[in-house]
Amino acid sequence: MTSSNSKQIVAEAAIGHLGDATIIGIGTGSTANLFIDALAPYANQLEGAVASSEESARRLQLAGIDVLELNETGSLPLYVDGADEFNIHRQLIKGGGGALTREKIVAGASRKFICIADGKKRVNLLGSFPLPVEVIPMARSYVARELIKLGGQPVYRQGFVSDNGNLILDVHNLDFTDPVALESEIDHIAGVVCNGLFARRPADLVITTDDRGQLVEL
């Protein structure tokens, strides 16, 4: 089973969890894109969707789904998004696509967060995937020095600017034994906008696949 097959399976499975939601939050990335494609036939049943990135907003529009502003919708019944890593506690590393800040906002504003992820992304301990940290441009070097003090090795994501006009540091070698504490500690560095650790607000459900490509819900 390839990753792309697995992504297709989990994206389609998430459709079964729409319930009576008429407005949903939609994440960013290749798995979220497959979910948008699977959602297209249901466009008439939806009032619209809140997108976590400009890229997803464009894809939603192409699928015939209205893009709504979170400030107008209030809290959402459901948010569906991918992840770069997940653990048994449904804690995630996200932000490989650089959309972590809006993703965390929409996840926080949603009553249910379903993560759809290829089974190869399951880990016992988070952190093989470098943790994306979004920073205000003028704070880039300062934040990098502070992350080094925490034991991390930050790498500047060259040539990337987030939808919010900020930069990304991808941080290797952090200690993830207490993900909730690490998430808070990084957020408290001045100049950090957001980090891609979703531990304080983990997913409520992870839809993934096992080694044989069978659906698994965690």
- Catalytic residue positions, numbered: 103
CA distance 23 to 162: 25
For ligand 5RP, give the closer residue by CB, 142 or 204.
204
Please give the single-letter amino acid code of residue 182.
Answer: L
Nearest distance from C-beta of residue 44 to ligand 5RP, angstroms: 26
CA distance 30 to 122: 17
Question: Three-state DSSP class for 164?
Answer: coil
What spatial distance separates the first Cα and last Cα of the chain, rounded to whole Å?
A: 19
**Residues in the site for ligand 5RP, rule: CB under 6 A?**
27-31, 81-84, 94-100, 103
Nearest distance from C-beta of residue 20 to ligand 5RP, angstroms: 25
DSSP assignments along 70-128, one per residue: HHHH-SBS-EEE--SEE-TT--EE--TTS-HHHHHHHHHTBS-EEEE--GGGB-SSS-S
For ligand 5RP, give the closer residue by CB, 97 or 154.
97
Nearest distance from C-beta of residue 19 to ligand 5RP, angstroms: 22
For ligand 5RP, give the closer residue by CB, 27 or 202.
27
As given in the structure block, the two tokens for residue 80 are: 């569906």
CA distance 90 to 177: 15
Nearest distance from C-beta of residue 115 to ligand 5RP, angstroms: 8
For ligand 5RP, give the closer residue by CB, 142 or 187.
187
